[in-house]
Structure 1
């Protein structure tokens, strides 16, 4: 937290850029070896997968042994958190508000923790990759922060699942329902 306060003071001294809604440049989760598990990039700072992986490797090498919460690399502000065998990262520009990035990181971690039933580790994440991508999509869209409250994210995702009754039906039930609808449309 001291590093975050220091970075805010530094920003006051150096000046501000034009405000923008596009706060987040990337979010990604790496394993304990620095390998990508989940990643979302929201602008063209790193346009190719090769450049993205190179950036992720650089970040991992700088942060995997550090006890901090914030890092600066290649003109980017990176906030990060580790849990068991996972490293969570949120990336913004060098002029970005670190507290905003930390709130996104916290929301990401807490939402995944809830979705994974507090079992935030590599195996559990890999078993629920679809949920991880949904959580990321609920928090940030195109670099714009949509939600920073993990309870709201969880509630939206649960609501979305409840709206889709087909996901809970078996194939046989769907086919039976389709047959019934066709039968009734032919009898009319």
Structure 2
């Protein structure tokens, strides 16, 4: 088996609920990978709605590149993606470990309450690298959900943050970051400044009421 000497290590990142339903799914392929016949969608990335984004055609000179840089993602349609997700969910929902080999793919997973996070890579990929990706992404999502638990309701309520966390961790199958704190800090919502003055209609009415009371007190103190 040819060793992967490129940075393209990740085939997919999946977040499924306890019933195997998709919460977030991202499928990757190198930007130089070709796609099928016209009208056949490619799957460089697919989010929770299952929409596939077409990848660019194979550029001239790409034939001489390593196969990992030109190989097309095997799950190019929504139907193929859902079939794969259901299959790995069936294989892992009662598994005692945290890694399996399924259909020439290395699948690492971690469960929490009613969610399972998966990282998928080629069969010959470095297990420790993918395990580090899985652990850091899982911890980053837990930080973003504040309670430290990756659960379905919290994921759906913060789907934008979870999706951004995945995008900050993996891009086109390349692992960008393995520090969970750094990932979370890049996508977390900024906290409102407590010293910032919020001016609205209620604020103006409160200020007017306070001013009116002070004027009345001064009039009374003056003996009027």
2:60 maps to 1:30: no
Q: Aligned partners of 1:153, 1:18: CA distance in 2, in Å?
A: 25
Partner residue, 2:187? 157
Partner residue, 2:74? 45
The residue correspondences of 1:79-158 to structure 2 (distance < 5 A) are: 79-117=108-146, 118-158=148-188
Q: Aligned partners of 2:172, 2:119: CA distance in 1, in Å?
A: 14
Offset, 1:156: 2.0
| Structure 2 spans left out of the alignment, 5+ residues | 30-72, 191-197, 201-224
Partner residue, 2:3? 17
Offset, 1:18: 3.8
Relative to total residues, which structure has the larger strand share, 1 or 2?
Answer: 1
The CA deviation string for residues 70-124 of structure 1, in whole angstroms up to 9 with x for no partner, is 0101100010000000010000000100111111111111000000011321001
SS at match of 2:13: strand
* C-alpha contact (below 8 Å) 2:112/2:149 kept by paired residues: no
SS at match of 2:109: strand
- TM-score, structure 2 as length reference: 0.64
Indicate which of 54, 68, 80 corresponds to 2:83.
54
| Structure 1 spans left out of the alignment, 5+ residues | 1-14, 163-169, 173-188
Partner residue, 2:54? none
Q: Aligned partners of 2:13, 2:96: CA distance in 1, in Å?
A: 20
SS at match of 1:77: strand
SS at match of 1:47: coil
Q: Aligned partners of 1:87, 1:138: CA distance in 2, in Å?
A: 19
What number of residue pairs does the alignment pair up?
154
Q: Aligned partners of 1:49, 1:23: CA distance in 2, in Å?
A: 22
Q: CA RMSD in A?
A: 2.5
* C-alpha contact (below 8 Å) 2:169/2:178 kept by paired residues: yes
Q: Which segment is superposed worse, 116-125 or 54-63?
A: 116-125
The CA deviation string for residues 55-78 of structure 1, in whole angstroms up to 9 with x for no partner, is 001100000011211010110001
Is the radius of gyration larger for structure 1 or structure 2?
A: 2
Offset, 1:47: 0.2
Q: Aligned partners of 1:54, 1:102: CA distance in 2, in Å?
A: 24
- TM-score, structure 1 as length reference: 0.75
